[in-house]
Structure 1
Amino acid sequence: MLTPTDMDRLISEWLAQANPAPQQAFTEWTDQGVALLPLGKLFAAIRIPGDLVYAAVGGEESEQVADILRMWLRGPVIHDHRSMGPTYYALIQWHAGLVWDYGEVAPCLHGDTYLGVPRIDRREPPGTYWAVPPRFEGNLCRPQAVRELIDAGRRQLALPASA
């Protein structure tokens, strides 16, 4: 039976494989807590604005958001607050990004794009962290679940404000 430490090691090794030089990812995780990993080899990422996520889940409290995203998406989600305000990155299969059709609202990052991927044990702020860490190597969100989350957020944001 694998221990949680063993699982974290296996997941980290899998994530590092996105980098042509996997050891570089481990060095960046050690030195900075976040590794820049190229997208499009092992996975792609859907960049979802925080307001869309908060509207879909019905709140902004980080534990509530994480719990709902965990149940809804059943895959890893990274939270980053530094670059563009609150932003979530749902990791999906790399080839799903080739046909992603929500680009104007929540673009799919792949190809020549790099994503700051936190060390597996970074699960709370400050900085970039796992809102929902991967549960096992190869764990990714289903694109349809990500679409449903985005649609739910868009519906909530389109509702008239209550008087």
Structure 2
Amino acid sequence: MTTLPARALEPVEPEPGVLVHPSSDRRLAVEHWLLSTLSEPGRARAQWQEYGAALLPLGTLFSAVRIPARLVVALTASTETSELDDFLDQALEGGPVICDPHHSRYYALVPASMPATWRQAVDDWRTMDIDCLGRDSYLGVPPVSAVECNPATHAPYWSVSMPSAGVLCAPLTVARLIAAGRHQLVEGLDA
């Protein structure tokens, strides 16, 4: 019987590091998370193929704040799609936003509880076509791969992609964006 030298039996120290998930894994996780709002995820995949968006129910995993494009334009003084998308990415600290270019609206995805907890603010926002959509509402959600505006189709796209499953916009950050935009629009009307 042979014996191993003592140093061969010493424990090996793991090297510090960071577990990195490829972007394709994150996109797949986001897709599965979004589709978990449905009892038949296959139907949503078919809608993505046929229409470029799938109707997903709000108020369970997430809700959405509808923001008119004119409010974002007032804050950026730009109508360039890429500049508006970059601005929203920074202003909402990377929180996910869907753009509906056909109706000139953005939808910031927020926690499902926001419509109930922000009831007073939402009532004030409605005068400017801003609304917080929750239970009993549906949102046309593009496939996670739709990350650029297509002027030919005006199909919804991810203005700011969801970085990981379950990562949403902070309600206070969305409220601050809306307050700044409302202020800017009012100033523009006064000028």
Answering whether residue 104 of structure 2 is matched by residue 76 of structure 1, we say no
- Of 85-94 and 118-127, the range deviating more from structure 2: 118-127
1:32 aligns with 2:60: no
Aligned AA for 1:150?
I
Counterpart of 1:9 in structure 2 is 28
CA distance in 2, matches of 1:58, 1:102: 25
Q: Distance in 1 between matches of 2:83 and 2:149?
A: 15
Q: Which residue number corresponds to residue 123 of structure 1?
A: 147
Deviation at 1:14, TM superposition (A): 0.6
Unaligned runs of 5+ in 2: 1-19
- Write the mapping of 1:9-158 to structure 2, written as runs, cut at 5 A: 9-73=28-92, 74-82=94-102, 85-100=103-118, 101-103=121-123, 104=126, 105=128, 106-126=130-150, 127-158=155-186
Asked if the contact 1:56/1:150 (under 8 Å) is kept, the reply is no
Between Structure 1 and Structure 2, how many residues are aligned? Answer: 161
Report the residue type matching 2:97 in the other structure.
Answer: V
Q: Is the 8 A contact 2:67 2:105 kept in 1?
A: yes
Q: Deviations over 1:81-118 (max 9, x none)?
A: 22xx3100000000111122234131101111110000
Using the size of structure 1 for normalisation, the TM-score is 0.91
Percentage of identical aligned residues = 38
> Which shifted more, 102-111 or 131-140?
102-111
Q: TM-score, normalization: structure 2?
A: 0.78
Deviation (angstroms), 1:162: 9.2
| Structure 1 residue 161: Cα displacement | 6.2
Q: Relative to structure 2, which stretch is displaced further, 153-162 or 104-113? A: 153-162
Shift in Å at residue 160 of structure 1? 4.5
User: What RMSD, in angstroms, separates the aligned Cα atoms of the two structures?
Assistant: 1.7
Judge conservation of contact 1:49–1:86 (CA < 8 Å) in 2: yes
Higher alpha-carbon deviation: 28-37 or 141-150 = 28-37
1:30: how far off? 2.8
